[in-house]
Chains A and B, each alone.
Chain A
């Protein structure tokens, strides 16, 4: 059984998400994947351009809200209250959705959620579905599960379409094709979109128009839609989807059957709570005062929209995170992506390096909380180290998730898991332990300092001239070693000010 450092007595975490199903883990640790990304100059140029655009827009629209800090406080408190009352709120949500003609399903993990959705689609007799961009369905690998059963899933969000047509993976939670520039997108459309105008230019408006034409026919014929949800209101059974393009409205409105997959943490107690989140979310995510379209519905409305509605509530590791005081706050995330856009690490590596559908600062904490830290060779073990702990993510987070604190806790947890598994400390832990021993005694500290000055010829440009033996090699693999000075501070002080007290 897993335990966390921040887990109070008496709490039992739920099971970790199975990394074999869905997309919560990559095939390589972060440093290896990041190294490749850093070598791709086109990628770095695209990312730098996009993240700097969005940072400026966000700062401008956040700056004009006089009560921004009060809204953040309220958002954070509503989420904390939600986590404390989660079982009651989910039961209330279920009761209200059911009372209004919907059906609620519960999925313990990704495989179960996929099975539920697949059975529901099969029951309609259809062999295609339209999809609104949803992190939850990416997390569980729903498209692959549907495709495996011969059902085509059409992604309808422009960025998701770019990813799907480019045989690519999403790299950002809000703008999954952020790693692509306009000319690359033009190339993908020209190559992959059936019947596209060969005279297509790389003007964003022209590219958007091509996507409109391409998908319109799909929307008009679709009988089944799959969506995620940004919020589920317990008090009324209202589900809400926030979007820009209108593909969400198409999917939520035109088909006969709607299946919504929602993580259990997306419930909010009351409709009034949305007055906080609908101010925080758009300004933090796309840097707009409000996103173009927000749709809300409760169950089924005769004569308006899908006449069959299913809500699938997903655990998949969330009850694992919930047991930990800090892990629980990672569940407060409203997926605005502001923390990605300000992160110096994300800006340089992009989202693919993180392996999980949740990249960037929030991904570096949420993913390991969902899947667990093994202390072995799991790539997710490296995620808590994918940060310089600069704190920019915490400053912009609209629900005040203290991501740097979470990263530090996960690093400590990783150190312990590694020690337990290997009976050997990590190189970092060994180095810290040695440093503690040296620093505990002033004489010892002085002696070691002097010894280090003699070692300075062994270091050139931050790397040891000769390979160091483990565990020192583990320390220097991802860090430069500063060249020790010719003289220690203590010796310099004694030499120059030795006569003064």
Chain B
């Protein structure tokens, strides 16, 4: 018998008759009390992100205003070169001296030589300070938002929801998804949180709208 058939047979013998568990109680909160994009959820998202030591920059909702905020955030860190997700509008990176669109050919080593990356995002959860990237054109492939040491991530206020269920409900589970809650961190030394390990050590969130 193959390992597969034997394991399935073992499970069936061990399980007995039951082929359905108890009903799952749906009494937990799915939607929050605040509407997506409302002032309350945006304020909460800012609070949570800053608690994780991410930098939050507010900007207007139009591409030019976003571009100005991105340029200012990078210049303030002495960064003049970025790579960006292919779907990022030109206007978002117009103020950066060297801005290259990712065409998928750069190796991890190439990306390691670039100081910063600019991407968009597809959803954010205010209660947990979480931003979702789905590997689509606006967010780029996963390596892009991972290897450069500074990640500038644009979050549109209309994409900000209050709860985890609302946030996951906006995602397609078949896409390669990354949920980001603050910069890379570790709790491995004496269980105290320290920011800055293997992922980007600096996370700048441009909150647009």
Contact = CB atoms under 8 A, between A and B. Distances in A.
A245 B22 contact: no
Given A319-B14, A322-B14, A245 B7 contact: no
A77 B8 contact: no
Interface in A95-146: 100, 105-108, 112
A62 interface: no
A342 to B, nearest CB: 13
Contact of B15 (A86, A250, A275, A298): A86
A209 B185 CA distance: 11
Contacts of A185: 189
B174 A100 contact: yes
A288 interface: yes
Interface string A380-413: 0000000000000000000000000000000000
Contact of A54 (B127, B191, B198): B191
A37 B162 CA distance: 46
Nearest to B135: A304
Interface in B90-144: 104, 108-109, 112, 125, 127-130, 135, 141-143
B12 interface: yes
Interface stretch (A45-53, A441-449, A453-461, A471-479): A45-53
Contact of A323 (B14, B189, B200): B14
A67 B6 CA distance: 41
Contacts of A264: 7, 11
A219 B52 CA distance: 25
B181 A291 contact: yes
Interface string A217-256: 0011000000000000101111000001111011011100
B174 A238 contact: yes
Given A49-B190, A219-B198, A292 B181 contact: yes
Interface in B10-46: 10-30
Interface string A31-48: 000000000000000100
Given A245-B186, A249-B178, A276 B28 contact: yes
B7 to A, nearest CB: 5
A292 B180 contact: yes
Interface in A274-289: 274-276, 278-279, 282, 286, 288-289
A320 to B, nearest CB: 7
Contact of A77 (B21, B146, B181): B21
Contacts of A204: 186, 189-190, 192, 194
B28 A70 contact: yes
Interface in B168-209: 168-169, 173-201
B189 A81 contact: no
Contacts of A238: 173-174
Contacts of B21: 77, 80-85
B18 A212 contact: no
Counting chain A CB atoms within 10 Å of each CB, the highest count among B3, B22, B196 belongs to: B3
A452 interface: no
B143 A275 contact: no
Contacts of B22: 77, 80-81
A289 B189 contact: no
A22 B67 CA distance: 54
Contacts of A17: none
B64 interface: no
A15 B191 CA distance: 37
Nearest to A88: B19
Given A81-B20, A185-B189, A294-B178, A87 B127 contact: no
Interface stretch (A153-161, A191-199, A490-498): A153-161
Interface string A164-182: 0000000000010110011
Contact of B142 (A13, A211, A304, A322): A304
Given A100-B174, A106-B4, A275-B164, A14 B10 contact: yes
Contacts, number: 276
A90 interface: yes
Q: Which of B135, B142, B169, B177 has the most CB of A within 10 A?
A: B142
B192 A12 contact: no
B29 A177 contact: no
B119 to A, nearest CB: 13
Contacts of A157: 188
Nearest to A269: B24
A305 interface: yes
A440 B128 CA distance: 59
Contact of B189 (A78, A100, A208, A272): A208
A85 B17 CA distance: 10
Contacts of B8: 87, 90-91
Contacts of B15: 11, 83-84, 86-87, 322-323
A215 B12 CA distance: 44
B174 to A, nearest CB: 5
B142 A249 contact: yes
Interface of A: 8, 10-15, 46, 49-51, 53-54, 57, 66-67, 70-71, 73-74, 77-78, 80-88, 90-91, 100, 105-108, 112, 156-159, 162, 175, 177-178, 181-182, 185, 204-205, 207-209, 211-212, 215-216, 219-220, 233, 235-238, 244-247, 249-250, 252-254, 264, 271-272, 274-276, 278-279, 282, 286, 288-298, 301, 303-305, 313, 315, 319-320, 322-323
Given A205-B196, A294-B179, 18 more contacts: A12-B13, A13-B14, A15-B10, A53-B191, A70-B25, A106-B7, A216-B112, A245-B184, A246-B198, A246-B200, A250-B198, A290-B128, A292-B182, A292-B199, A298-B175, A301-B176, A304-B141, A304-B143
Q: Which 10 pairs show the lowest CB-CB distances between chains A and B?
A: A246-B199, A81-B21, A246-B198, A290-B128, A245-B197, A159-B188, A323-B14, A275-B165, A290-B181, A84-B21
8 contacts: A46-B190, A54-B187, A244-B185, A247-B197, A288-B187, A292-B181, A296-B173, A297-B177
